[in-house]
Amino acid sequence: MRLAFSMFMRKKHHHKKKPGFFKKWTAKLHLWFGLSIGTLIFIIAITGALFVFKDEVENFSRKEYIYHHEQNIDQKQILPIRQMEKLVDQQTKEKYPIHWVNVPIDKTMSYQFYWYEHQPDQWNYFDEFPIYKVAYVNPYNGKVLQTYDEKNGFFAIVKSIHWSFLLKQDWGTYVVGIPVIIFLLMLITGIVLWWPKNKAARKQRFKFQWRDTTQWKRKNYDLHNILGFYSSIFALILTITGLFYAFFVVQAMVYVIFSGGETAYPDFSKITTKAPIEMRTDRTLDKISNKVKELYPSAYGFSLDLGHPHIDDHEHPNFEVYVKHLSYSYHKSSSLIFDENSGELLHTHDPKDKNFGEKTVAANYDIHVGAILGLPTKIIAFIVSLIIASMPITGFMIWWGRRKKTQIK
């Protein structure tokens, strides 16, 4: 009897095994990283979540102007682009020249004329971009249906906070990128800390244990650990695709890895405009536009640079047209090289011509914002972004609860 009692007491007073050196320091790193960058990660994640449904919100709020509602268009001709540009200039009276026009393949949709200027010597977002506006235009009569100040729009500001904390792009992306690198390390240390030691612990790590408890501490702990685990693979994808924009070395690594070791990205700068400038007329852009429409009748649309001098202007060896094949995504695209003066097509680079590295690079934005497979992947990106935003909050509450407990002792 005495022996049994003694064994019972020994079991009752059995102390938990202390964590090993590796796990102890992993926990410390996870904590220090979390306390140092938690607020920044919350801002990056919550702005990412807000940006996910930008296209859906704008398509709904601008639906009256995205389509021009012109009647009997089969019996009418679209105006020449230069004539349209002059009419837009007369109606808007902006001090800067129009930069480019988005041309839809669907004849019922409006053309979009963009003003965009970039001053790289400024230190913040609002001064770096003197203007960023769009005008929705009826291509059959040149009437401006509506203009939007994109620069001061909700989603543009949200994107700039997410991208560079409203600082200039050149170094603002590093200010965002460095905390994201630390967050990547937190994901790894978090998985190490989550990893169950045995079968009994494994049962508690995969699902919420809330049936037998009313303690908010337990619920908060589970929210941090279990949601963190289930979202970790998606969080890792969002993190790496985000670092792609902050650090050129990440872009280079992604291309080299997915292209099977290729180190040189396709360069079309050697394909140059050779026709004399005298061959360029007011209808050259229309010739280019008609050729693109002929080659890609099922595409979504394409962009044409209007060729005016700009603040950050640089030499272009040729005239490149970007063709967007899908309405919801940018990853499926073509590049066409034209002679800027004659309007002759010099080269095409379609999805079928791209190696897997090029396709991966082209898909990076769509993967990052969840647009790669349309609405389903956008919903995943939105939920994962919210979970990431919650991690600093639930993590801080775990630390604060333990800190108070230590102080009471």
**Tens of pLDDT along 123-168?**
999 999 999 999 999 999 999 999 999 999 999 999 999 999 999 9
Distances (CA, A) of 247 to 122, 254, 295, 337: 21, 11, 36, 28
Residues 6+ apart with CB under 8 A from 361: 251, 254, 255, 258, 265
pTM above 0.75, yes or no: yes
Give pLDDT, residue 195.
83
Give pLDDT, residue 405.
66
Residues 6+ apart with CB under 8 A from 20: none
Q: By the 8 A CB rule, do 110 and 67 touch?
A: yes
Q: Which domains does the chain have, with CATH numbers?
A: 277-353 (3.10.450)
Q: By the 8 A CB rule, do 131 and 114 touch?
A: no
For 349, list phi and psi in degrees, rounded to 5: -135, 95
Using a 10 angstrom Cβ sphere, with 0-12 exposed, 13-18 middle and 19 or more buried, the burial of residue 237 is: middle
For 97, list phi and psi in degrees, rounded to 5: -75, 155
Q: What is the three-class DSSP state of 282?
A: coil
Give pLDDT, residue 5.
43
Give pLDDT, residue 3.
44
Is the dihedral angle over the CA atoms 217, 222, 228, 229 positive or is it negative?
positive
Q: HSE (CB half, 13 Å, CA atoms) of 267?
A: 6
Give pLDDT, residue 313.
76
Q: Token digits for 101?
A: 């026009």
List the chain residues with pLDDT less than 50. 1-14
Give pLDDT, residue 218.
79
Using a 10 angstrom Cβ sphere, with 0-12 exposed, 13-18 middle and 19 or more buried, the burial of residue 4 is: exposed
- Local structure of residue 344 (DSSP, 8 states): -
